[in-house]
Amino acid sequence: MSILQQEQCCRLRKAVGERVNKLTKVKEAQSTLYRALYSALAEKFNVTSYNQINQKDFFNALHFIYTWK
């Protein structure tokens, strides 16, 4: 099993930012959403940090981010 490459990590970070911005424009609320989304992502893929997600789960992680509420 191999973890994500740097480009894939960047893509996930960008997706998280896009999702948070889509959910709210309120800066104070965004920091809470960032933490919640990164925590949910780590829990979903059973890792301590999103950059430890397995490469085979990259597209599932993107889907999870874009559909997270």
Strand runs labelled E in 1-69: none
Q: Which of 17, 21, 2, 68 is nearest to 41 (CA)?
A: 68
pLDDT of residue 41: 97
Indicate the pLDDT class of residue 45, thresholds 50, 70 and 90. very high
Q: Is 12 exposed, middle or buried (0-12, 13-18, 19+ CB in 10 A)?
A: buried
pLDDT in tens, 18-28: 999 999 999 99
| 12 close to 65: Cβ distance less than 8 angstroms | yes
Q: What's the pTM value of the predicted model, to 2 decimals?
A: 0.94
Alpha-carbon distance 47 to 45, whole Å? 6
DSSP state at residue 5: P
